[in-house]
Amino acid sequence: MRYLFASVGSTGDILPFVAIGAHLRARGHEVALLAGFEYGEVARQNGLEFVSLATSGDYLRGVHDKRILTTQ
């Protein structure tokens, strides 16, 4: 069976999917994680295929976007 886990969350949201995915892989299933680019390495280290939601450049542009950082 093939599984796709998708999350736009932070580490606390992603790691449970990675753990479940690793268990599924150990049972012979195909598993992919769709998440932010920064989770690619942990996904691959646990045997999961990884699909990035954005590039590191996209992330940095978002982090430094004054419209997002400004509170009103």
Domain that holds residue 57: 2-69
- Is residue 25 within 8 Å of 45, Cβ to Cβ? no
Contact 35, 53 (CB under 8 A): yes
Number of domains in the chain: 1
pLDDT tens-digit readout, 20-62: 999 999 999 999 999 988 999 999 999 999 999 877 777 777 7
Rounded to two decimals, the pTM is 0.76
Q: Are 40 and 56 in contact (CB under 8 A)?
A: no
